[in-house]
Amino acid sequence: MVATRKLGVDPALARRKVELFGQLTLVRTQLVDVVGAIDLHRLHGLHFWDALIVRSAQQAGCVRLLSEDMQHGRRFDGVEIADPFRSLREGS
C-alpha cells in the first residue's frame, strides 16, 4: 500500500481512513453522465475528466466542489467550484 510503505503512514491510521472513505456517497457513472460531461466540456471548455467530476457532483446533489485545478468561484448548474488552497497561495 502506497500510504504505509512509501508515505510511512501507520497501518491502523490508513485502515481508519479507508473506513471513513467507505462512508461517503458513491456516484455511479451512467451513459447520461458521460453525455452530460461531454456537453460541459463543449459548452464551458472544461477538460473532459473535470467535466465528469462536475457532472458527478451535480448528480450527488453537491453545492460545492473542492478542486485546486478548476477555476475558483465558477458555477455549473448549482455546483460552485472552491479551491481549498486558495488562501494559502495568496498568503492570507
| High-pLDDT (> 70) share of the chain, % | 95
Residue 59: its pLDDT value, please? Answer: 92
Residue 38 CA from chain centroid, whole number: 17
Residue 4 in any domain: the answer is no
Domain count, the chain: 1
Residue 7 in any domain: the answer is no
At residue 48, what is the residue type?
F
Query: pLDDT tens across 14-47, in order?
Result: 899 989 989 988 889 999 999 999 999 999 999 9
Residue 7: its pLDDT value, please? Answer: 81
Residue 21 CA from chain centroid, whole number: 13
pTM of the model: 0.73
Residue 40 domain boundaries? 27-90
Residue 23: its pLDDT value, please? Answer: 92
Ramachandran quadrant class, 91 (left: phi over 0; alpha: psi -120 to 50; beta: rest): left
Residue 62 in any domain: the answer is yes
**Minimal CA–CA distance to 85: which of 12, 70, 1?**
70
